[in-house]
A and B are shown apart, each in its own frame.
Chain A
């Protein structure tokens, strides 16, 4: 077992322990409070907020993955090639909008709550996945795609049996990027009343309680690092299994 893995397991254990029983860690945060402020966030369960935060990120990323991969497949087929520039600019527009602006624009249409946050995260998650899927599908070794055609695979068989499996590690890298961005961005959702860990941070900022800010920030940070590492490990395993170690390192 490597030192890196030990540290990650330790972080995970600490995170779970803190979420299940935050009061046990009160002594750590006590020096950060003043005037008898509450030490541990007391306007709701941290565990519930964390799970809700993760749920929103998971739903938004799942939707973004479905749409982005679908679009990328369409525009790399012969019949969709002319939409390639258009779809690229659309996904880029999604990225140039600041998430706060998307939230502000979505609230009048969708009202306060989780819905505008989901929309913002979804739009934000599209581009990394779309770009990576395009890279994965168009950057395949030419001899391999040529061989697939020469063997007599139909377009669909080439996609399912050769192109997607080989592009999978790169697609997953896009999903990983998108997930981590969403994890961080979801905190802003609390400004429009989505129940995420942003609540803890905002409550801390409003009452000048550094302990709250730190609790919210640490949980989001730990989640981001753990999820990033976990997805990286899956990617590496996939890259090895698809026998393209050299390509992924390049």
Chain B
């Protein structure tokens, strides 16, 4: 659990982060959203003390982060950044093993962990372990960057626009990988992004920052239904019903029955199902789960889910 209390950062005359308080529960994925200059990155960097707060404090599992040396604190917190920041003179394996090495793990344990993580990110260890970062594609570099952040099994992972440099197809894949890993290890993730779509897709809670202030901190449903200010509403944009639909899966709305045409996967989002209904001009779609038909999903029900919650 991360408790941020009255955290403030002032550079000269400018207040970059202004008395922000928020609590991120264990195993949550908190997406901090804002435009550039909103203070979102500074807020995140104060968690592992890459930026020292002017006032206020951060507690991790109840312990004040100032009680330990900054470098020790950082070794306990995973850190992944935009453009991955891999060490160009170290192999993929050495890059991933950075923090375990700093922590003094023995060689065999580091090697095991590196192979485990490479496999987890669908990179064949034998093939990738000894490659140099510049021999990898952008998507592979990004995966190695996240693998490096997770190497010492941190409870907390900080990510600064980790998917910013990826093309849309690879980004979607990387986002789904992150969600899978976050659920598997129950890691607490703080993710900074300027993309509200990404925040809604990934975040279990969203913190909206503007001008150094925290405007709203709530679940995606709540943010979409009741944006605290006009600015938050503007960030969400005009297609709020579709954002709302993107939050739930087809499986939540399956009803018994049959329908004609191409089936849709139970794991697809309601937004995808609705789009398919509109596109193919059907009133209902058959739903397929692991290769078997489990029922159908109804266009009218989908439309009802897109209505502003009260």
Contact = CB atoms under 8 A, between A and B. Distances in A.
Interface in B81-106: 81-89, 98-99, 102
Given A152-B75, A153-B102, A243-B134, A147 B85 contact: yes
A42 interface: no
Contacts of A165: 89
A169 B158 CA distance: 33
A143 B81 contact: yes
Contact of B87 (A148, A150, A246): A148
Interface string A118-160: 0000000000000000000000010110111111111001000
B132 interface: yes
B81 A150 contact: yes
A241 B76 CA distance: 30
Contacts of A154: 71
B22 to A, nearest CB: 21
Contacts, number: 69
A245 interface: yes
Contact of A144 (B88, B99, B132, B158): B88
B111 interface: no
A243 to B, nearest CB: 4
Nearest to B48: A150
B163 interface: no
Contacts of B71: 152-154
B241 to A, nearest CB: 38
A244 B79 contact: no
A242 interface: yes
A147 B85 CA distance: 6
A151 B71 CA distance: 8
A162 interface: yes
Interface in A215-239: none
B73 interface: yes
B102 A149 contact: no
Nearest to B76: A152
Nearest to B94: A161
Nearest to B103: A152
Contacts of A243: 88-89, 132-134
A152 B89 contact: no
Contacts of A146: 50, 81, 85
Contacts of A151: 74-75, 79, 98-99, 102, 148
Interface residues on A, range: 20 to 34
A147 B50 CA distance: 10
Contacts of A245: 134
Interface residues of B, number: 27
A166 interface: yes
Contacts of B158: 150
B72 interface: yes
Contacts of A141: 85, 88
B305 to A, nearest CB: 40
B79 A150 contact: yes
A150 B99 CA distance: 10
A244 B85 contact: no
Nearest to B82: A143
A147 B89 contact: no
A227 B85 CA distance: 35
B88 A166 contact: yes
Nearest to A244: B88
A219 to B, nearest CB: 38
Contact of A242 (B72, B85, B88): B88
A144 B85 contact: yes
Interface string B99-122: 100100000000000000000000
Nearest to A147: B85
A244 B86 CA distance: 12
A243 B98 CA distance: 17
Nearest to B133: A243
A152 B85 contact: no
Interface string B58-88: 0000000000000111111001011111111
Given A143-B82, A162-B87, A166-B88, A152 B74 contact: yes
